[in-house]
């Protein structure tokens, strides 16, 4: 009689490790996801009309990493320094970030000015 060995039975792949990986991914993405609303800073992107004239004294704020300059003069309290230069709270204020200024510093200045009641803020872009 011919004694042949039976072919080995194929073992089925276990689904347990795959289920573990899926649950770990689920937990990771749930922890990494942001729930809720993000805070937004409203900015007006409108351009002034071609014939529109500037009203009042200049209001150019240079935002540097460590200091603020209003029309070239260093200032500590920006809203108080801007108040005498404003005819109305809707007058435009130009902000120019200096090289090396991070975005958070600029956003902080923008939100401080908005909290002080200034509504027309414009950011100047540096040209290469």
CATH number at residue 86: 3.30.420.270
pTM (2 d.p.): 0.59
Within-domain flag for 86 = yes
Strands (E), the chain: 60-63, 68-70, 73-75, 92-97, 120-123
How many domains are there within the chain? 1
Angle, vertex CA 127, rays to CA 124 and CA 128, nearest 5 = 155
Across-strand partners of 95?
Answer: 61, 123
For residues 69 and 95, give the distance between their C-alpha atoms in angstroms, rounded to a whole number. Answer: 10
Find the domain containing 110 and state its range. Answer: 60-123
Q: Is 83 inside any structural domain?
A: yes
12 found inside a domain = no
Asked if the structure places residue 70 within a domain, the reply is yes
Token couple for 12: 């089925």
Residue 5 placed within a domain: no
Looking at the domain assignment, is residue 11 inside a domain?
no
What digits encode the pLDDT tens for the residues 13-51?
888 999 999 999 999 998 888 777 667 766 655 555 544
Q: Show the DSSP H helices in 48-92 as ranges.
A: 78-82
Over residues 63-106, the pLDDT tens digits come to 888 888 888 888 888 888 888 888 877 788 888 888 888 888 88
């Amino acid at each position: 009689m011919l004694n042949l060995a039976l072919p080995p039975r194929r073992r089925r792949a276990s689904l347990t490790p795959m289920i573990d990986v899926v649950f770990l991914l689920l937990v990771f993405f749930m922890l990494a996801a942001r729930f809720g609303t993000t805070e937004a800073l409203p900015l007006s992107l409108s351009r002034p009309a071609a014939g529109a004239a500037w009203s009042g004294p200049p209001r150019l704020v240079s935002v540097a990493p460590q200091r603020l300059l209003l029309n070239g003069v260093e200032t500590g309290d920006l809203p108080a320094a801007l108040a005498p230069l404003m005819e109305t709270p809707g007058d435009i204020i130009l902000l120019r970030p200096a090289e090396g200024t991070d975005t958070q510093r600029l956003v902080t200045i923008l939100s401080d000015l908005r909290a002080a009641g200034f509504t027309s803020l414009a950011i100047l872009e540096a040209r290469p």
